[in-house]
Structure 1
Amino acid sequence: MVKKGVWFSFIVLLLAGAVRLVAPLQNVVSWNAAATRILNSLLVFIFAVFMYQVFSYYVKSYSARRVVLYLLSLGAAVSIFFTFQGQIIALSISVGILAIAFTFIFQAPMLNLAAWIYIIVGNLFREGDRIKIGELKGDVIDTSIMSTRLLEVSGEYVVADAPSGRVINIPNSLFLSQPIVNYTREFPYVWVDVPIHVTYETDVAAAEKIITGVITRRMKELFPVIEKAFARFVRRHRASSAFVPINFNVIPKGFWMELRVTFPVPPKEQATITTQVTEEILRKGQSSRKIVFPKRGK
């Protein structure tokens, strides 16, 4: 489909160019300055469409194509504006007046545009990334000049890290003033905690063996992949951290203890994996009798 569009735009561009060159010479129409400007504007528009079709044929990145579309549209608009503007002085005055008007009237849209450029050039995030800005968290589904849309995760009605079903529209200007957390861009994993509450009668060594064994079995295919990604991340940022797949800690909590285990998971699977791990730890602990869980009411 795109290839056909490229050829169609190319043929139309050739025909329009031929008309532009031949018509004034052959007196096909009553040719004047206005007709020249109109045809020149048409040529600029067709050329912009043709260039976008060619770029889209070779580049599949949605964000890159959108940037090129905006740049070509801006370039075509400026070219057409110059085509119909006769005097440089009048142009300068009109541009100055328009700039002042835009400053007051379109302050918010201009901030959104500047933030959009910042997002694209700074490579802050792209479609599919899970991000957090302020108290808002979700998966990026679209980024336009004015706003960014997120498929909300957690939020008002959902406690777990799962989609809430709501779409959040965030003005791009917010990204200029709020800290942004990207959970998937450079290192696409996050460390999560699984707390297990037990009594002091628990065999802590046996409990550690059971808990780490459950996690190791559940994550055996992912841990090597995560370790390689972590090594690349450390080299890129010249950090000195060592990869520790599982951290086990014992935290006294008055009349009971908290066995807290920390390990890395893909952020979009965090809720599922922690639930599965917790359920298996409870089953293993109850069957082994090495882990004693607090009784209700005690």
Structure 2
Amino acid sequence: MENLEYLSQWMEAHPTAAALIKYLFWAVVVLGIIQYLRRLLRKNITDSNVRYKSQKGVEVFGYLLLLILTVSYFTGNIKDVALAIGLFTAGITITLQELILSIAGSVYIFLVKVYQPGDRIEINKIKGDVIDIDSIYTTMMEIGEWVSSDNYSGRIVKLSNAFVFRGPVYNYSRDFPFIWDEFNLPIRYGSDRELAKELILKIASEELSSYVHQSEEQWKAVVGRYYIEDAQVAPSLAITLTDNWIQFNLRYIVDYKKRRITKHRLNELIAKAIEQTGGKVVLASATFEIVRVPVLQLDSEEDNKKGIN
């Protein structure tokens, strides 16, 4: 107590020295905060570009606050140090808005359950399977790009969680882990259309029966939860007449992870069934077929003379 009283009396007797000590104390605090934030950013931000800019931003606003403190103590224009701290906090918030949005995004993803590890999503025009979610980034195994269909490209993508606030998030598996797919079959004119319809729908119904049964139950839950109309989950066939062939469009529901293999299996079975019809059903193509060669009649030189005479 005596030491504190003595220090208080000494500071009252030497106001200039006391102000200088206070200034040095707050300067050390500001520098300490700067170093602490830089270490924190260096440990938690893996992206080198974002890490570099964040650290530089902290340094700039830290030195700006140090300048404000200097003006405060040596000119007397700013007496309340709390105001300087407030300005420093606001500056840090502006500089680290990407980091703050990412952390807020991770909280939003967790609470609202936008997606979770194992889901297949598309966000910021990047599609893939979610393999990890941390406080700043969502890690995805990319699909598509230079490979066909829904195959993995082999690239692991780290995407800022802030993107959940900046655009739509397409989830292939969250509430309804099935998608509708379709493909066209060109059937030659003159084929038995009824037989073609029968065999295509029969194969699709047999091959997709498990998906249809599972999706019916889950679609009822979707209809009950959202304002949405009921939909047909059984395979359907639509026919369009074109200039070259009869186009059969097969639409069906499939597990979102088995789209490619299911389409391959259906094409293989339908092609085999068409071959077994003995020509009653024939697949069309864009090749040209010469049905008959026209007879060309050439006039002789005598016939031309007679014609002239």
Asked whether the two chains share a fold, i.e. TM above 0.5, the reply is yes
State the secondary structure of the residue aligned to 1:202.
coil
Q: 1:229 to 1:255 in 2, by over 3 A?
A: same
Equivalent in the alignment of 2:115 = 125
Quote the offset at 1:97 in angstroms. Answer: 4.2
For residues 112-135 of structure 1, the C-alpha deviation after alignment (integer angstroms, 9 at most, x for no partner) is 122222222221100000111242
Q: 1:269 to 1:293 in 2, by over 3 A?
A: same
The letter of the residue matching 1:122 is: V
- Structure 1 segments, 4+ long, off by >4 Å, are 90-95
Equivalent in the alignment of 2:96 = 106
Looking at structure 1, the residues matched to 121 and 106 of structure 2 have their Cα atoms a distance apart, in angstroms, of: 16
State the secondary structure of the residue aligned to 2:215.
helix
- Report how many residues are paired: 209
CA contact (8 A) 2:233 2:253 kept: no
> Is 1:294 aligned with 2:284?
yes
Quote the offset at 1:228 in angstroms. Answer: 0.8
The letter of the residue matching 1:252 is: L
- TM-score normalised to structure 1 length: 0.65
> Is 1:278 aligned with 2:263?
no
Equivalent in the alignment of 1:249 = 238
Looking at structure 1, the residues matched to 85 and 197 of structure 2 have their Cα atoms a distance apart, in angstroms, of: 71
The residue correspondences of 1:15-94 to structure 2 (distance < 5 A) are none
CA contact (8 A) 1:139 1:151 kept: yes
Quote the offset at 1:94 in angstroms. Answer: 7.2
Q: 1:117 to 1:222 in 2, by over 3 A?
A: same
Answer 1 or 2: higher relative contact order, Cα 8 Å, separation at least 6. 1
Q: 1:222 to 1:121 in 2, by over 3 A?
A: same
Quote the offset at 1:91 in angstroms. Answer: 9.7
The letter of the residue matching 2:214 is: V
CA contact (8 A) 1:150 1:169 kept: yes
Instruction: Give RMSD over aligned pairs.
Output: 2.2
Looking at structure 2, the residues matched to 194 and 91 of structure 1 have their Cα atoms a distance apart, in angstroms, of: 70
The letter of the residue matching 1:151 is: M
Equivalent in the alignment of 1:194 = 183
Equivalent in the alignment of 1:233 = 222
- TM-score normalised to structure 2 length: 0.63
Quote the offset at 1:180 in angstroms. Answer: 1.1
Equivalent in the alignment of 1:176 = 165
Q: 1:128 to 1:285 in 2, by over 3 A?
A: same
Looking at structure 1, the residues matched to 130 and 85 of structure 2 have their Cα atoms a distance apart, in angstroms, of: 36
CA contact (8 A) 1:142 1:148 kept: yes
Q: Percent identity?
A: 24
Range with greater deviation from structure 2 (113-122 or 124-133): 113-122
Larger radius of gyration: 2
Quote the offset at 1:284 in angstroms. Answer: 0.7
Structure 1 gap segments, 5+ residues each: 1-89
Equivalent in the alignment of 1:160 = 149
The letter of the residue matching 1:267 is: Y
Equivalent in the alignment of 1:266 = 255
Structure 2 gap segments, 5+ residues each: 1-79, 289-309
The letter of the residue matching 2:200 is: I
> Is 1:222 aligned with 2:211?
yes
Quote the offset at 1:207 in angstroms. Answer: 1.2
The residue correspondences of 1:6-21 to structure 2 (distance < 5 A) are none
For residues 130-152 of structure 1, the C-alpha deviation after alignment (integer angstroms, 9 at most, x for no partner) is 11124211111111122111111
